[in-house]
């Protein structure tokens, strides 16, 4: 059955993209464009994806604090590469 009539995407194709790691409607859209035109299929895509099988979602649900942080901390090598003037300005 078709999920996205704008791009001819089927339920099976959405499930295949989910199996390959597209565990959100946005990731499915990136993989096949479903949900990017009229948007009427986004809720159906959400229902096909369900609440499981997404590693990031599982980490969030388990309460992992680092998953929700917007910016990752710089690597030690990146911090060492800063110029001394940059370090004085930051202090």
pLDDT tens digits, residue range 11-21?
999 999 988 88
- How far is residue 7's CA from residue 14's CA, in Å, rounded to a whole number? 12
- Please state whether the predicted TM-score (pTM) of the whole model is above 0.85: no
Question: What is the pLDDT averaged over residues 65-72?
Answer: 49
How far is residue 42's CA from residue 7's CA, in Å, rounded to a whole number?
A: 13
SS3 state of residue 34? coil
Instruction: Give, for 9, the enclosing helix (H) or strand (E).
Output: strand 9-10
Q: What is the pLDDT of residues 74-89, one digit of tens each?
A: 555 544 555 555 555 5
């Amino acid at each position: 059955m078709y999920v996205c009539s704008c791009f001819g995407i089927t339920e099976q194709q959405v499930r295949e993209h989910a199996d390959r790691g597209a565990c959100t409607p946005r990731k499915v859209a990136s993989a096949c464009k479903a949900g990017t035109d009229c948007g009427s299929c986004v809720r159906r895509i959400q229902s096909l994806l369900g609440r499981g099988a997404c590693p990031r979602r599982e980490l969030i649900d388990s309460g992992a604090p680092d998953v929700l942080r917007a910016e990752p901390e710089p690597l030690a090598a990146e911090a060492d590469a800063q110029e001394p003037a940059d370090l004085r300005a930051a202090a």
